[in-house]
Structure 1
């Protein structure tokens, strides 16, 4: 099961209770169901997958309806879970899930690189979005120090760092799926392996990717301070 892409600086500022709800509905509950209810005397391998994946899909849909923020990452998260369930219920080879696990973060990484040539690159949505950075104040200060062009080059460097975090996630997703999913699809053993892969996804995939993403954030904030000569708080909203 693909984990959600590394959270942006906006997502990182959400209330802590959202984090625990996310962990419960996206990781803990599905893992428990697939690990302990997949035996024939309980739900069985296929029904346990269907019930387990209903929790992240239901929670993700509820969050979208509550926040009314239909962003690309939320939608990709739901689509990813639905694909995992579809591939598993159709008893398709594990290779399908491995490819899907790698494809979603890989496509996001490509999008980060492609949008760097556009008016608003994806990194300004992920890291330097308008809800975090006061761009009017930042641009005024950069212009005053004749540093606007130089700062754009620093943003370009951070683009590669952010893209690399998604490419790393893509490679780790694929490797984890290939390593763990070795049993015949549709069996209890396969469902338990799917639960194990979900449980390992956060420490194995999210943490390394988060380190790179946070590195990109700190790099940009450090460059912002150097080029303007002002504290970062000057340009932070709220």
Structure 2
């Protein structure tokens, strides 16, 4: 039987809980007449921290990306509460996707590039049939090269995110940490990072997936319904 214990997250709920609510709290409730500087920052950061923790508990497994996100939130809170120079915020914003990008790039030189875990895996694709067809058609080595190219592209999406995070943080967050203005700017950074960074990165990921799909179809002559696992069967 198939294990259905892992639940799929709702993307809209993720955006509301991790982006919109924290941003609104920081931008609208940082004044002393509302929550104040420290409390508004703590409350805003509590939402993504709680969400990340709930995801880990619910799916009963540690996810490397989720852990980095959790650490990122804690670092952001620390910079605000300890009133550190805002340059540390820009560096932190660039560091997290940068670490992931380096890890993805380094995995290119291992037996299993990370793109296999995220895209070319048995959860999504019918790997056994695909590999069988690659061997029969004599295209396995050519496909391995395509897989390596996909891994380079995959690493580049995190490189893009790292650079854009740094630029956006440097441009938006200019007020001293520990002030209401800093909290408001932090809220704007969280809000703007979605259309400026997350959406383009997602489109890049979709492009990589499309590239992989085209390569599989070309090298195996399989139809789309044969390439992907069929749900509900």
CA contact (8 A) 2:86 2:173 kept: yes
Q: Give the match for residue 114 of structure 1.
A: 106
1:164 maps to which of 145, 156, 165? 156
Residues in 2 aligned to 1:198 and 1:207: alpha-carbon distance in whole angstroms:
13
Residues in 1 aligned to 2:9 and 2:215: alpha-carbon distance in whole angstroms:
32
Runs of 4+ in 1 over 4 A off after TM superposition: 14-17
State the secondary structure of the residue aligned to 1:133.
coil
- Say whether 1:208 aligns with 2:211: no
- Say whether 1:187 aligns with 2:217: no
Tell me the C-alpha RMSD between the 2 structures.
Answer: 1.4
State the secondary structure of the residue aligned to 2:124.
coil
Gaps of 5+ in 2: 1-5
Q: Give the match for residue 88 of structure 1.
A: 80
CA contact (8 A) 2:126 2:227 kept: yes
Q: Give the match for residue 40 of structure 1.
A: 32
Q: Give the match for residue 55 of structure 2.
A: 63
Residues in 2 aligned to 1:110 and 1:84: alpha-carbon distance in whole angstroms:
22
2:166 maps to which of 168, 171, 174? 174
2:96 maps to which of 98, 104, 115? 104
CA contact (8 A) 2:36 2:180 kept: yes
| TM-aligned CA distance change 1:122 to 1:17, over 3 Å | closer
1:125 maps to which of 117, 126, 132? 117
- TM-score, with structure 2 as normaliser: 0.93
Q: Give the match for residue 3 of structure 2.
A: none
Deviation track 1:4-47 (CA, whole Å, cap 9, x = no partner) reads xxxxxxxxxx9886212211210111011101110011111121
1:23 maps to which of 15, 19, 25? 15
CA contact (8 A) 1:224 1:232 kept: no
Quote the offset at 1:126 in angstroms: 1.4
Q: Give the match for residue 54 of structure 1.
A: 46
CA contact (8 A) 2:7 2:59 kept: no
State the secondary structure of the residue aligned to 1:117.
coil
Residues in 2 aligned to 1:40 and 1:152: alpha-carbon distance in whole angstroms:
59
Quote the offset at 1:148 in angstroms: 0.4
Residues in 1 aligned to 2:109 and 2:226: alpha-carbon distance in whole angstroms:
28
Q: Give the match for residue 70 of structure 2.
A: 78
Residues in 2 aligned to 1:214 and 1:52: alpha-carbon distance in whole angstroms:
30
Gaps of 5+ in 1: 1-13
CA contact (8 A) 2:115 2:154 kept: yes
Residues in 2 aligned to 1:16 and 1:112: alpha-carbon distance in whole angstroms:
24
Quote the offset at 1:78 in angstroms: 0.9
- Say whether 1:137 aligns with 2:120: no
